[in-house]
Structure 1
Amino acid sequence: MRHAIDHKSPIPLHAQAEQLLRNMISEEEYQNGKVFPNEIELAKVLAISRSTLRQAINKLVFEGLLVRKKRSGTKVAKSVVSSKSNNWLSFSQEMKLRGITIKNFETQVSWVLPDDEVADFFEIKAERQVLKMEKLRGKPDEPFVYFVSYFHPRVGLTGEEDFKMPLYEMLEHEHSVIATLSKEEISAKAADGFIANKLQIPTGSPVLFRKRFVYDHGERPIEYNVGFYKADSFVYTVESSR
């Protein structure tokens, strides 16, 4: 087999496997419907575990690049341009895609005790500290969103990471944690004094409140995120297809 994994490379095995699969997807034979080797065979050839290979496959299935069916195997999706891949972006990537220049006004990282909702989501005890990241971001002339993220201790963040990087890229490359599933709640709120001060708007002004629950490939919680968006500066769109 012409594809191989470099076991001496510092790049995590799952990341190498993902790139290898992306390369295979672009090849003419697989574009024309050839079935991928089964997991057992491919993992054996690459000398990696099935769980490592499955982690990479699951990500590409989630992105809509691969289709996996029982008894018929894994194939390249008929259309490799997927709305799912566009939906799964960090804020930095989201804004870059829209051609919007973003400025970081504040970034704060601290260790805190989680409130009941965060502790319940992570299924941890309330006395166990979690890493909290706060960001105030916006256009060069004004902030329009205030984010707060909490991370499960299992992720292994120390607080010394470069949080200027796109978040999910950093988690994958530095901690081998791949965010594969996001569940969101979106509602309208009136800005309290704290949020109004952050976003430079009058207290009581409407804000879009976006709550995101992020999971890894095993559907284990990794991030609890809330965002407060200035109502007149941001439009949240959802694209669906049948």
Structure 2
Amino acid sequence: MLDKQSPIPMYVQIEDYLKNQILQGDFVIGEAIPSERELTDTFDVSRMTVRQSITNLVNEGLLYREKGRGTYVATPKIEQPLSGLTSFTEDMLSRGMKPSNKLISFEKMIPEIDIMHELQLAKDEEVFVVKRIRYADDKPMAIERSYLPVKLVPNLELNDIEGSLYSFIEKDKRLIISHASQRMEAVLVKKEDAEFLQIFMPSAVLLIERISYLTNDVPIEIVRSTYRADRYKFISEIRR
């Protein structure tokens, strides 16, 4: 199945073969692929070559490893368009998935100086800080840390954060969210977040900070989200 005379490296050829098997449905979601030893024998290559192919497919999100058990076909990544301003709950519902969350903490405090500046607060003004694990169909997708000015949502309570914060903010039509700015970068996951997201260290994650604004350009929320890079990807349409 491999062309050892080809300038294409062996690990790339194996990677392409496995990828085609997955895309054609020969391996289905949740099914184990052959072990490294079996693939080594099948392709008559070194174990290191096979391991590199599998690692690349794991990093691409097509496969995932379970320690001591094997390597399995992963559920396809969720595609999140970068255009449009929606909450995590709204995103998941639009895909027919069941959104849920687990509250880690909910408190009121004086924010750090960078949060204070981005929310345009005075030194003594407080924020609500909401830290949640966000799930889709009961699988952890992201850690979300939200900061909201107390003066704008003074009645925020524990039961209000079970669903979409956007829905709570806009429920009485007094506050309407109109736009947001967003920053994104790839980082290595922190130990605490790795435990929450059920991923191994070191793993790459997507760190996204979004600042949402009301119609009068007043910032209403900063949310810093750490997304599993093996379950999520962001797409955008660019026009000339």
**TM-score calculated relative to the size of structure 2:** 0.60
Q: Give 1:241 shift.
A: 4.3
Q: CA deviation at 1:111?
A: 0.5
For residues 153-186 of structure 1, give each alpha carbon's deviation from its aligned partner in whole angstroms, at most 9, with x where no partner exists: 3312333152223222211114721110110001
Q: 1:124 aligns with which of 105, 121, 125?
A: 121
Q: 2:147 matched to 1:150? A: yes
Give, in whole Å, the separation in 2 of the partners of 1:119 and 1:204.
Answer: 31
Matched to 1:219, the amino acid is D
2:100 and 2:163 in contact (8 A); partners too: no
Between Structure 1 and Structure 2, whose CA radius of gyration is higher?
A: 2
1:109 aligns with one of 106, 111, 118: 106
The number of residue pairs the alignment matches comes to: 159
Partner residue, 1:159: 156
In structure 1, what is the equivalent of residue 91 of structure 2? Answer: 94
Contact 1:146–1:227 under 8 Å retained in 2: yes
Identify the structure with bigger relative contact order (alpha carbons < 8 Å, sequence gap 6+). Answer: 2
Q: Confirm or deny: 8 A CA contact 2:104 2:133 kept in the other structure.
A: yes
- Paired residue for 2:60? none
Q: Deviations over 1:103-126 (max 9, x none)?
A: 323353211221111011122234
Q: How does 1:197-212 map to 2 (within 5 A)?
A: 197-212=195-210
The aligned counterpart of 2:132 is: 135
Q: Which has the higher strand share?
A: 2
- Aligned residues: percent identity? 23
Deviation at 1:141, TM superposition (A): 4.1
TM-score between the two structures when normalised by the length of structure 1: 0.60
RMSD: 2.2
Q: Kindly report which structure 2 residues correspond to 1:205-220, keeping only aligned pairs within 5 A, or say none.
A: 205-220=203-218
Contact 1:114 1:127 in 2 (8 A): no
Q: Which runs of 5+ in 1 are unaligned?
A: 1-82
Return the letter of the residue paired with 1:206.
Answer: A
